[in-house]
Each structure stands twice: as C-alpha cells, then as structure tokens.
Amino acid sequence: MLVKVCGMRDGENIRLVENLSVDLIGFIFYPRSPRYVNSLPEYLPRSAGRVGVFVNEELCVIEDTVIRYGLTHVQLHGSETPSVCEALRQRGIQVIKAFSVSVPDDLMATGRYDGCCDFFLFDTSTSGYGGSGYSFDWGILQHYTGNVPFLIAGGIGENDAERVLDFRHPQFAGVDLNSRFEVSPGIKDIEKLDRIITKLKR
C-alpha cells in the first residue's frame, strides 16, 4: 500500500510527515493552489519520494523544477499529452497522470497514456485541479481495465482506513492524502496522519 501525502511546503511539517514512513510527499507547483510552493522548504524528504504536482506547465519549467527540488516523480493534473509524459520518463522521472472521475466513461481517457506513465491518480471531478476534500464513487474504478497501477485521491479522511483496506482492484497501488488532514493549507495534522497510516501499513 503506497501512501502519498500531498500539498506540503513547511520544512518541519515535511520532516514529521516523512517520519510516519510515508512513501511519497507531494509539492504543488500550481500558482492558483492555496498549497503552492514558491520557495525551497528548509527540509526536503530524504527517504520518501519527492513528487512535483503541475498543471499544464511548460516542459522546460517542469524539468528545471525537477532539478532544483530533486524530484523523483512528476504528477500532471492538466491536459498534458502522452508525449510530455514520455519525455519526462526518458529523463528518468517517474510520471503520475491524474484523471478526474465522476462516471465510468471518464476512465476512457487513460487509454492514450497506457505505457507512458508509471501511475495514474484517480481524483474527484471538480471545477479545479484536486484538493477539493470531496470523494467519488470508487465502484466506478471497477470499469478500469488498463495496465497502469493507480492511486486513489479525493476526500480520503481519517475514518476511511477500512474503506481503503477493503477496496479491491488488481491495479490498486495506494492512496493520496491531502486536505482532510490539514490544520491549514499546506500544514498537516501529524496525529491524524499517524493514525490512518498505522492502519494502512499494518
């Protein structure tokens, strides 16, 4: 069970989250997000993977950010093409492509990206780009028949551990935790995260 905690930017908070044995820590490089990272945090993960989240950003900007922050993964939340995903993978970067899901037909868009992404991320369909705090019907994901493993995002909270553990799909790889664990945008409640991660990693 991969656990990704997204929307981080405070050095000490990042260090405490990493100590919970999370697998991936996400940094949002989308200026309209309340969790936008505009400067290098005082601490960056050393054992957890570093994921940069972008929305329709130019490839050169993504590549520069990868170098500056030492990113291991790039998560793309916009209308980025398969060729952008492939270009990043050729540079040794793991790619997570996000898709908004509200009905089974939304999963058809994944077909173009099969083979050029390391993970998909299925999130709640909203007017923005993630971080809504709302969940979607995970039953829709039973219609996903692709080969790329996926993470589930969107409104997962402390009381959802059993729901996550009970979910079954051959490509289900893990979860993305964000807004339901925040004290304020970009600052996570360590005790709440500890409780759910302990259950998910048991």
Catalytically annotated residue among 6, 85, 116, 117: 6
Q: Active-site residue 106, yes or no?
A: no
117 is a catalytic site residue: no
Task: Provide φ and ψ at 38, rounded to 5°.
Answer: -110, 0
Please give the pLDDT value at position 126.
64
Does the predicted TM-score (pTM) go above 0.85?
Answer: yes
- Choosing from 85, 117, 123, 176, which is the catalytic residue? 123
pLDDT digits (tens, 9 = 90+) for 106-142: 999 999 999 999 999 999 876 555 555 678 999 999 9
CB 151 within 8 A of CB 162: no
Query: What is the percent of the chain with per-residue pLDDT over 70, rounded to a whole number?
Result: 96
